[in-house]
Amino acid sequence: MNGKYRYLIMAMIVFMTVVNYVDRGAISYAQKSIIDEFGLDPKSWGEILGYFGYGYMFGALFGGMLADKKGPRYVWLLAGTAWSLFEIGTAYAGDIGMALFGGSALTGFAVFRILFGLAEGPTFSTINKTMANWAAPKEKGFATALGLLGTPLGAMLTAPIAVALLSVTDWKTMFLILGIIGLIWVIVWSKMFTDLPEDHPRVSKAELAEIRSKEDLLESETSLAEAKQVPVPWYHFFKNPTLVMNAIGYFAFQYVNFLILTWTPKYLQDTFNFKLASLWYLGMVPWIGACVTVLLGGRISDALRRKTGNLRIARSGLAVVSLFFTAVCFMLIPVVDSVGAVLALMAIGNAFNFLPNSVYWTVIIDTEPSKAGTFGGVTHFFTNIATIVAPTLTGALVASSGYKAMFIAAAVASAVGMIAMLFVNPGRTNKVVGEKPIT
C-alpha cells in the first residue's frame, strides 16, 4: 500500500460491515416465506425483528469495554465468528422453537435473534477503538466515516443479495450461505490485523509517524498517548453532557436507519403490491444517497474542523442541520401518494440522516480517545434501544394507524435528536482522574 497500510485495514472493515448489515437485514426479505411457514401475524413479525435489538444493546456495551481491555483484534475475531454461527442457526430457529419451546416458532426466533444481536453488537464500538488506534488526527472524521460506509452500503446491497439468493434457493439456505461468508472474513482478518499499527510489520515508520502526529491537534484535542496517562472511569460517561446528548442524537439516527432496514420490504409489498422480484432494486433506493453522504459527512466535518478550529461547528453543528432536513423529509412522506415520491423522500431523508453518521463516533474520540471502545459501547447501548423500539413500535403503529404513522414517528425521532445535538460540545476540556477534574 506504499505507506498507507491503514487504508487497507479500513477497506477490510468496510467489507466486514457490509457482511454485518446484509446478515442482519436479509431476514426482512425472507419475511413472506417465514410468516407463511410459521403462521405469524404483523405484530409477531415486528417482535421478531425487534428481538435483535435486545442482544445488540448488550453486545455493544460489553464489546466496547472488551475492546479497550483485550484489544479490538480479540473482539473482531470473537464477534465475527459468533454472529456468523448464529446467522447459520437462524435457518433452524423456527424448527428449534417448535421442537424445544412448546411448539413456539416465535420463541425459537427470539432466542436466535437475541444471540445474533449480542454477537453483532460489538461491531461499531470496536470500529471506533480501531480508528482511535489507527487513524491520524487530521483524518479522524473521514476514517470513522469510511468505517461506517458499510452501514448504508450493506443495507443497500441487502436487497439484491437477499433477493438473488432467495430466487435460486430457499430462505434457510440463504442464511447458511451468509454465515459461511462471515466465517471466511474472520479467517482472512486474523492474518491481516493487529491491535496497534506499531505491532504490524507492514506499517512503515513514516506512516506510523503520520498516525501519531501531534502537529494537527487542536487545543481541545489530545493524543492517544496523552489520554492514556489520565485514567477515566467508565461512569464518567454519565457525568459528561456532551457524551449523553451525543447518544440521544445517535438514537435518532439509529431509529430511522433501522426502521428503513426492517420495514421497507413489507411496506412496499403491502402498500404498493410489489412482488419479491421487484424488491431487489426498489429496496436499494433509500440507501443510494446514504452511501455517498456517509463519506461526504466525514469529509465535511474534517474540513470544518480545519477551517474553523471549532469542534462544535465541525461535529454537532453538522448533525443539527442534517437531522432537521431528515425530519422534514419523513414528515412529508404521509402527504404524497406515488411510490416514486415516497422512495425519493425516503432516499433524501436517509441521505441527510447518514451525513453526520461519523460525527456521533468522532465526538467520542475527540472527547475521550483512551475510552473510545468503552464509551463507544455505552453510547451504542443506549442508541440501540432504537433497534428494539423502531421495528416493534412500527408493528404496533401499522396495526393501529397504518403506515403513515411510522413515518411521522421517524420525523419526531429526528427532531428530538436534532435538539439533543445542540448541546453537544466535543473535545477534552476537562481531564478526569477518579472524581477530580484537572484543568
Total number of domains in the chain: 1
Give the pTM: 0.74
Residue 297 has pLDDT above 50, yes or no: yes
pLDDT digits (tens, 9 = 90+) for 239-290: 999 999 999 999 999 999 989 888 888 888 889 988 877 777 888 899 999 9
**pLDDT for 228:** 59
pLDDT (mean) for 179-197: 95
Print the SS3 string covering the chain.
CCCCHHHHHHHHHHHHHHHHHHHHHHHHHCHHHHHHHHCCCHHHHHHHHHHHHHHHHHHHHHHHHHHHHHCHHHHHHHHHHHHHHHHHHHCCHHHHHHHHCCCCHHHHHHHHHHHHHHHHCCHHHHHHHHHHHHCCHHHHHHHHHHHHCHHHHHHHHHHHHHHHHHHHCCHHHHHHHHHHHHHHHHHHHHHHCCCCHHHCCCCCHHHHHHHCCCCCCCCCCCCHHHHHCCCCCHHHHHHCHHHHHHHHHHHHHHHHHHHHHHHHHHHHHHHHCCCHHHHHHHCCHHHHHHHHHHHHHHHHHHHHHHHHCCHHHHHHHHHHHHHHHHHHHHHHHHHCCCHHHHHHHHHHHHHHHHCCHHHHHHHHHHHCHHHHHHHHHHHHHHHCHHHHHHHHHHHHHHHHHCCHHHHHHHHHHHHHHHHHHCCCCCCCCCEEECCEEEC
Q: Is residue 211 part of a domain?
A: no
pLDDT top residue among 392 and 420: 420
Give the angle 412-286-390 at the CA atoms, nearest 5°: 40
When the pLDDT of each residue in the chain is averaged and rounded to a whole number, the result is 88
For residue 437, name the pLDDT band (cuts at 50, 70, 90). Answer: very low
pLDDT (mean) for 211-237: 69
C-alpha cell at 50: 425487534
**What's the chain's length in residues?**
439
Residues 66 and 129: beta-carbon distance below 8 Å: no
**pLDDT for 428:** 64
d(CA 359, CA 273): 38
pLDDT (mean) for 84-90: 97
β-bridge partners, 436: 433
Structural domain including 338 reads 5-196+222-438
Residue 439 has pLDDT above 50, yes or no: no
Distances (CA, A) of 281 to 68, 160, 266, 351: 40, 7, 14, 17
pLDDT digits (tens, 9 = 90+) for 193-222: 999 999 999 999 999 998 888 776 666 566
Q: Is residue 213 part of a domain?
A: no
d(CA 438, CA 186): 42
Q: Is residue 237 part of a domain?
A: yes
Q: Is residue 216 part of a domain?
A: no
- Contacts of 320-324 spanning 24+ positions with Cβ under 8 A: 320/418, 320/421, 320/422, 322/297, 322/352, 322/353, 322/355, 322/356, 323/249, 323/252, 323/253, 323/352, 323/353, 323/356, 323/414, 323/415, 323/417, 323/418, 323/421, 324/414, 324/415, 324/418
CA–centroid distance for 196 within its chain = 23
Instruction: Please report how many Cα atoms fall inside a 13 Å half-sphere around the Cα of residue 250, on the Cβ side.
Output: 27
pLDDT top residue among 436 and 138: 138
Question: CB neighbours of 194 closer than 8 A, spacing ≥ 6?
Answer: 73, 200
Q: Is residue 217 part of a domain?
A: no
CATH of the domain at 229: 1.20.1250.20
Residues 132 and 372: beta-carbon distance below 8 Å: yes
**pLDDT for 207:** 92
